[in-house]
Structure 1
Amino acid sequence: MFSKQVVLITGASSGIGAALARRLATEFSDIRLVLAARNRKKLETVANDCLKTAAEVLVVPTDITQVEQVTALANSAIEGFGRVDALVNNAGYGQMGPIELLSPEDAKRQFAVNFHGPLVLTQALIPVMRHQGGGRIINVSSLGGRLAFPTGGLYSSSKFALEALSDTLRMELESFNIKVSVVEPGPVKTDFFQVASEQLQLALPDLGETPYRALNQAIPEIEQRTSRLAWSSEQVAAVIIQALRDRHPRPRYVAATGGKTMLFLMTKLLPRQLVDIFWKRFYSINKVEQDWRSHKSSLETGVNVEMS
């Protein structure tokens, strides 16, 4: 199936995207890869690894937030190989923090990377896939695209949108033999939480002076809680390859230990109130509630306790 196939991967300089490129190159020696990400040096490192076995690799440095660069990426792939058989929209990141405190610019960038970039690239390649007789589109979402949780509101919102887009595309493109699937990783051993923590510090440097100050230590704690369940990038890449290879691909592929069970419990079985309690404790919002109750109590008793 993958003989001479052209696969375009965004976010290919590290993590899941890099693992997918290397694995495809290893398993299918005559595959042709288009690798896109912002960092040319990292992309070229991945490309050199792939070239040890792959027939051809095209590196296209791309800022997925820039429409012109996304369009140029699609054009470069077509000019380089004449077709694109599979698109893997993998580029993404997580913007963490309470919704109240995040700026409109934070929201715009989150959606630009996780939703608008994949949308523009997909739109550019649909006519190509239709003309060549079909293709595959894999959108890498997250369990956070099915489950919303505190401090991850922008991230989940962008992934919910990506999943809705995928469902719509799956129905609209079926008659053109263009198959659309979503891959939903859970925790992954990448720099996701490091990037999320850095983004949080940039967006909210004064978080400790707000009513949400208890969240200052939340991200490292969350990373510790999830580390034992985290998959490697290579494991997630294997699921993406399964979605690419399946003759009749499923709408969604869960790439997480216990992910299907969690989705069933959280969306079908457990009362909403219990689900809310679980997530509030997991993401330390319960500590924010405790601080706020103490603050209100101090006001009522006349004791001066500082609370922004």
Structure 2
Amino acid sequence: MTQSPPLAEQVILITGASTGIGAALARRLAQQFLGIRLVLAARNQEKLQAVATDCEKVGAQVLVVATDLAQLEQVKALPQKAIDHFGRVDVLVNNAGYGQMGPMELISPEDAQRQFAVNFHAPLILSQALIPTLREQGGGRIINVSSLGGRVAFPAGGMYSPSKFALEALSDVMRMELGAFNIKVSVIEPGPVTTDFFSVAGGKVDLNIPEAGRKLYRAAIEGIKDIEQQTALLAWSSERVADVIIRALTSRHPRPRYVAATGGKMMLFLMRKLLPTPLVDLFWKRFYKIDQVEKEWKSLAQRVR
């Protein structure tokens, strides 16, 4: 079996690299592994170039590829652009993602499709495109950035948890299928992170929601917008999550999953193993204010009678 080159000599493709975890990972890799080659992909060319400049200042070689991961043709073109430029790709970090939050009933088919396109289909397509290259090179790594929301679903999470659950399952399938080719697959599961995730997600909640639905789920919709403040004390920096990804990249025997959240392992144990489902449901309904929606609906129903 061919030995993988040191990380400093590898080519690493990172999606969602213009901000947040992806940008922090690119900068961390450039600082810690002199001469590393990075392929940075995201929609915003200007922000990508700013990250690239920081990385190049400390000796990294960087290819910037502006890519909308919801556009199939752009996703398909990305791996070949990386290979054409550097001659190889050793690591794929599927980091790009966002949250299409809101009550499931109110998510439009178009918004649901875009959520899965970015959070699930893009990682699938990029992985499929690069697996032959990684296999021919003697191995490589695929890192899928999921979420605690990919292990535990919550109300008013819209299509976010379903898309991340799918990514988790895909990662398990790839890990088992690709181990024979020395392609190691790991999942990173952040909890709250100090990025613009919730502000962006909160802003998207009001889009395409009819007035009747907005009124019915008012408490839950407002609750989503407050989540960032409620979880601020537990939030990790993007750099801290990036360090976990680097740990997965440098380990000779990487774990299938890395929880990147304060108290995350305990939460998963309680929610998935110990507590009865009705109690878990009650917790999440209160946290996301679905209990208030229930109370208001019951009150309205009684008045109608």
- Give your verdict on TM over 0.5: yes
Residue 217 of structure 1 is matched in structure 2 by: 222
Counting only pairs closer than 5 Å after superposition, residues 40-189 of structure 1 correspond to structure 2 as 40-189=45-194
Contact 1:64 1:70 in 2 (8 A): yes
Distance 2:210 2:12 in 1: 40
Name which of 9, 14, 19 aligns with 1:14: 19
Shift of residue 220, structure 1, vs aligned partner = 2.8
Identity between Structure 1 and Structure 2 (%) = 69
Q: Compared with structure 1, are the counterparts of its residues 137 and 292 closer, same or farther at alpha carbon in structure 2 (3 Å cutoff)?
A: same
Shift of residue 206, structure 1, vs aligned partner = 2.6
Aligned to 1:12, what secondary structure does the other structure show?
coil
Distance 2:167 2:263 in 1: 22
Task: Give the partner amino acid of 2:200.
Answer: V
Shift of residue 202, structure 1, vs aligned partner = 1.4
Matching of residue 240 in structure 1 with residue 245 in structure 2: yes
Note the residue ranges of structure 2 that are not aligned, 5 or more in a row: 1-5
Residue 303 of structure 2 is matched in structure 1 by: 298
Distance 1:19 1:216 in 2: 30
Distance 2:212 2:252 in 1: 49
Name which of 277, 280, 288 aligns with 2:282: 277
Question: What is the TM-score of this pair, normalised by structure 2?
Answer: 0.96
**Relative to structure 2, which stretch is displaced further, 68-77 or 275-284?**
68-77
Shift of residue 197, structure 1, vs aligned partner = 1.2
Aligned to 2:7, what secondary structure does the other structure show?
coil
Task: Give the partner amino acid of 2:47.
Answer: K
Contact 1:62 1:69 in 2 (8 A): yes
Task: Give the partner amino acid of 1:214.
Answer: A
Q: Compared with structure 1, are the counterparts of its residues 202 and 153 closer, same or farther at alpha carbon in structure 2 (3 Å cutoff)?
A: closer
Matching of residue 255 in structure 1 with residue 287 in structure 2: no
Aligned residues: 300
Distance 1:80 1:207 in 2: 52
Q: CA RMSD in A?
A: 1.1
Task: Give the partner amino acid of 1:49.
Answer: D
Shift of residue 298, structure 1, vs aligned partner = 1.1
Distance 2:155 2:212 in 1: 15
Q: Compared with structure 1, are the counterparts of its residues 141 and 207 closer, same or farther at alpha carbon in structure 2 (3 Å cutoff)?
A: farther
Distance 1:55 1:190 in 2: 24
Shift of residue 221, structure 1, vs aligned partner = 2.2
Aligned to 1:93, what secondary structure does the other structure show?
coil
Shift of residue 208, structure 1, vs aligned partner = 6.4
Give per-residue Cα distances to partners, 1:107-141, cap 9 Å, x unaligned.
10000000001111110000000000000000000
Matching of residue 34 in structure 1 with residue 39 in structure 2: yes
Contact 1:7 1:88 in 2 (8 A): yes
Distance 2:244 2:208 in 1: 33
Shift of residue 243, structure 1, vs aligned partner = 0.6
Name which of 231, 247, 260 aligns with 1:226: 231
Distance 1:279 1:68 in 2: 38
Task: Give the partner amino acid of 2:169.
Answer: A
Contact 2:97 2:118 in 1 (8 A): yes
Task: Give the partner amino acid of 1:67.
Answer: L
Q: Compared with structure 1, are the counterparts of its residues 272 and 48 closer, same or farther at alpha carbon in structure 2 (3 Å cutoff)?
A: same
Distance 1:209 1:157 in 2: 22
Contact 1:74 1:124 in 2 (8 A): yes
Distance 2:260 2:65 in 1: 28
Distance 1:33 1:205 in 2: 43
Contact 1:92 1:113 in 2 (8 A): yes
Note the residue ranges of structure 1 that are not aligned, 5 or more in a row: 301-308
Contact 2:199 2:228 in 1 (8 A): no
